[in-house]
Amino acid sequence: PIRVMSSDGIHHDLEDFLGPLKKLVLVLSDRNCSTCIDQLLFTLKNEIPELNRNRLLVLFSTQPPADEQWRHRKKILTGTEFLEIPDRALGLPMDSLDIPYFFIAGKEQIAGMAFTPYPSLDVQTRDYLKLIKRKYLQ
């Protein structure tokens, strides 16, 4: 099982956070461009209404002393679970790109509808989020 750490510092299995309804998962790392991370979080905030943010899951890997920065980022997306995960722990091909990526997952722990956002292609990212919202988060 993939182990994650919740905001309260307790370790859990990732599957404990994947319920019967699909969730949109965003994978981030301190290796990613800091401005790109913040831009993605604000794009999510603008595209996904707060009442549906419990269907979002942010998995992030960090190196101390970045804790303060992640505490600030969690405030951008209120109602969304942020889980710290070991670097590249998911073992997905996108991990090797060292850029943020999205996917849809549920209890079966299968990643689908993967999408890699690029800062200069913000319109495509918003279109992806609108499709995911309509298809999975309503």
pLDDT score at 108: 84
pLDDT score at 66: 64
Contact yes or no for 26/104 (Cβ under 8 A): no
> Which residues of the chain fall below pLDDT 70?
65-66
- Token pair listed for 50: 């707060």
DSSP secondary structure letters along 48-97? S-GGGGGGEEEEEE--TTTHHHHHHHHHHTTT-EEEE--TTTT--GGGGG
pLDDT score at 24: 96
Contact yes or no for 122/46 (Cβ under 8 A): no
